[in-house]
Structure 1
């Protein structure tokens, strides 16, 4: 059992805290800019104190987890006072460990959960990939131990790979969700249920993890169905921004389809 301090009370911290407690760890202190937020999360964690002070010397711990938005992390690190030799890890998918470089007395690491978190929805932490990185072997071992205590998918991922993973995740998750939002709006306008798309979306996702996604691209852009593309564009004239997005994605699919076809051409037999 480790003693852990949670710095932040957002969507990541709100779900990470209970997962750590369930794994047998102790959350000693929860920090937030607003006391009410800290108290709300601390109330769900046995024996956790809540506060707005970043003087962590008053709260000794085996691990300090900084789970705040990326833009806030440098501010928090600049204001916080950690015990000498403390292990501090952020949950960012993009920030390098060099963000800790200004405080040479710290041991630092990354504890990046590759998942989307929403208030009111619980994730299964055993299935959440945890990407671990640290500046020294002992810190790496401790972060790995904590990660393995809550997840079955743990990997050492250096900063450049973690940053690439985050970009890919934005395409796979955030952009996909936005496109689903457009689909939802279009079906609502047509008086149709969004649930009609569920089997199609599920098959698309399932297939993408069996075959390279570009190789199984379908739809009017992939098959060069210009009449259908034209009719879609007419239907989207009342949504000019979505129309532009449709045109851009269609152009990208066409170009990628041509590239896939060229790569798959067998050389001529002479």
Structure 2
């Protein structure tokens, strides 16, 4: 399939090479940051940078919107696509209907729409991820487009699901809890150890075992430990006193999380 990317950030950095490795051809890469487009093209086989959002003469059949959620409206207001092209967004939270509505207003030619959502965390500049075990959530405006996107997904991953906009929104919220929040808590743990000149590496075996147990349990709640799990008010009071004296900005994180854990196990 002939494919073009709009956006050259974290997701595009991993998805575009994966599509090429699966035998597809990336024609063009457009980005508001021209340097980002040049960097992505630099790791692809035969792509070139696109100077603007006029793709009317492009040979691509699929256009992948790999842009931040708040840029989708602006891009759709300016993009010009070939007739009957497929435009997909990669957002976890934006509904498919958004693309349909925007193109209904701005496009002069019929365009098919879909969602190609990879449920994974991506970082530009990191080693390229193997998509084989990355869940891909597909939604489309019609059955033919759906079939094409499912086939494309199955060429990359063994985990491909049809997921509607409401289901995807819930998955994205769950992913924020599982990924973004847990990583933020690890960052706070690093800040705590740094503040006392302690080695964060001392926590790494604990972190590894925590995630191992959670991944292997039927429910992560089964392997919860710690003072809030035990209802140990003495230890939690000691923790809050330390934070109040040294890192008061983290009390609004520690206290509600401790209470949430305690409520789950309270008898």
Fold match by TM threshold 0.5 = yes
* Partners of 1:72 and 1:57 in 2: CA distance: 21
Residue in 2 that maps onto 1:254:
262
How far is the alpha carbon of 1:193 from its aligned partner? 2.0
Question: Contact 1:214–1:257 at 8 Å: present in 2 too?
Answer: no
Question: Contact 1:93–1:166 at 8 Å: present in 2 too?
Answer: yes
Residue in 2 that maps onto 1:230:
237
Residue in 1 that maps onto 2:228:
221
* Partners of 2:251 and 2:69 in 1: CA distance: 32
Over 6 Å off, 4+ runs:
none
Residue by residue, what CA displacement relative to the aligned partner does 1:108-165 show, whole Å, maximum 9, x if unpaired?
1100111111122122221211111111111111111111112222111111110000
* More deviation, 189-198/124-133: 189-198
Tell me the C-alpha RMSD between the 2 structures. 1.4
Question: Contact 1:188–1:194 at 8 Å: present in 2 too?
Answer: yes
Residue in 2 that maps onto 1:119:
124
How far is the alpha carbon of 1:76 from its aligned partner? 0.5
How far is the alpha carbon of 1:16 from its aligned partner? 0.9
Note the 1:173-188 alignment, pairs <5 A: 173-188=179-194
TM-score by length of 1: 0.91
How far is the alpha carbon of 1:214 from its aligned partner? 2.3
- Alignment partner for residue 130 of structure 1, among 128, 136, 139? 136
* More deviation, 223-232/207-216: 207-216
Residue in 1 that maps onto 2:159:
153
* Partners of 2:38 and 2:265 in 1: CA distance: 53
Question: Contact 1:133–1:158 at 8 Å: present in 2 too?
Answer: yes
Give the 3-state SS of the residue equivalent to 2:139 in structure 1. strand
Question: Contact 1:39–1:51 at 8 Å: present in 2 too?
Answer: no
Unmatched tracts of structure 1, length 5 or more:
262-270
* Partners of 1:39 and 1:120 in 2: CA distance: 14
Cα distance, 1:143–1:219 mapped onto 2, change above 3 Å: same
Note the 1:91-106 alignment, pairs <5 A: 91-102=90-101, 103-104=103-104, 105-106=110-111
Residue in 2 that maps onto 1:6:
5
Question: Contact 1:100–1:106 at 8 Å: present in 2 too?
Answer: no
Residue by residue, what CA displacement relative to the aligned partner does 1:195-248 show, whole Å, maximum 9, x if unpaired?
222222222222223231223321111111111111111221211121221111
Unmatched tracts of structure 2, length 5 or more:
105-109
